[in-house]
Chains A and B, each alone.
Chain A
Amino acid sequence: LQSWGSLFPWFGLDIGGTLVKLVYFEPKDITAEEEEEEVESLKSIRKYLTSNVAYGSTGIRDVHLELKDLTLCGRKGNLHFIRFPTHDMPAFIQMGRDKNFSSLHTVFCATGGGAYKFEQDFLTIGDLQLCKLDELDCLIKGILYIDSVGFNGRSQCYYFENPADSEKCQKLPFELKNPYPLLLVNIGSGVSILAVYSKDNYKRVTGTSLGGGTFFGLCCLLTGCTTFEEALEMASRGDSTKVDKLVRDIYGGDYERFGLPGWAVASSFGNMMSKEKREAVSKEDLARATLITITNNIGSIARMCALNENINQVVFVGNFLRINTIAMRLLAYALDYWSKGQLKALFSEHEGYFGAVGALLELLKIP
């Protein structure tokens, strides 16, 4: 007996400030009978989404994240993870109209600010009714669910050992046996920090506007790069110590009185006050410094929140961390160093998709 909510197609949508995250459940246990009954538009959607890894010029399916043979609401299938920039939202709505989504008698469960912003467009252009869901509810639901199903037999959660040492650094699985309390740091365009005490008991502690959007935005202005990947690639080749003023640049070494190590950044972009040094840095250096600045700051705020909330495990999620090992290792190191080993930084394979997963779970009324 299927409720209205679980008529195919099963989508979960998270429309953020920069990226739209879409999860799509592809049923693999479709009976011949069902296949017969499946309307053409539904079939075409399924084919379109599963047979491509890129959609248009900007849509991408993260194939490596696909969760295989997942059982959801009694159905077996694969969960696909797709993203595209928020500025392509009109094209997405147009596609929905072209593919005649409205004939499917389905509901689109959507979260994120864009669920509000584009609600009217969905209705008037696509003839689609959006079910708007709370961002943070979806995020937490999504994380807890994805963690519980694992990652195709592997662990969803991981951490870094020896994060500062590029040779000895290791990414190791972490089993979140006792997830509560948990500090959840979601780094999208901006950053939200939540303290999670149980499945339904959480609070938003604070947030900061210095997030992934700031990194990418500043990189665009400083280096002329056009994609997040390009910005990260430049950062990986740069040297931030040419841009930043370190403690040792001021004190010649460690500032022992305050227990500050010489390598610590005293002033982000501090060297750029000097004309000579401005002329001597490369775009790669600037990209790296931007990345380090934003990441350190998030780490610092997260650490203070963890202290104030008396929580010692911190999970960092969000698309800022996608393919961003530099940032993850830095967060892991900074948290460990400044807390003298008290705090542990954890990461999750499906970084930015938890909101969309949460929206899908809402659609299926999975508690």
Chain B
Amino acid sequence: LSMAGRGRGRGRGQMTFNVEAVGIGKGDALPPPTLQPSPLFPALERRAVPLPGGEEGEYMLALKQELRRAMRGLPYFVKPGAPRRDIERYSDKYQLSSPTDNAIDWNPDWRRLPRELKIRVRRLRKGRTTPLVPKQHVALDKEETIKKLESLEKKEEEVTSEEEEEKEEEEEGKEEEEEEYDEEEHEEETDYVLSYFDNGESFGPDSDDNGDEAVY
């Protein structure tokens, strides 16, 4: 059967069916064979249709970006635990504690989950040397310094009154669930221009100069 096809359409690519049926007439030049993969960014023949604007579109855009930002701050955004530091440093006491692998930062209802998934829930106790408030934030310089100062502030308050301690414990519990962080409001609580405080940690891997700068 295949032999019958040979000899026909000499000088041109042979197909198993009659190419006239799909419109390739006799003597038509076929496009050259493709010898390479198609280009990564083929030329755009037509401009894309413009995006519909309008209030709905704008609002949904804002929502999308806001959601993205908010979700990064929630404890559901699981981050790897910080690698162990080589030496214990003085500033560790005042650093915001970084995520650890062996604790979960929120409190799921364990009754609803398989037992094998149960893991220690991170709960910060007062009186520990490692400080408070592990709010997960995208690490930005200013955020770190503000957190530091905030936690120091809290430490002060802790020392001053018993009642306050109670409140803080609750506050941490609550803060773990809070999503938004309104910086301006925070800053109003202190006298210091928080963003100016930079202990130089972020500059290089080993920076031991903290001792000089006052820590309030």
**Co-complex (A, B):** no
List the interface of chain B (C-beta within 8 A of A). Answer: none
List the interface of chain A (C-beta within 8 A of B). Answer: none
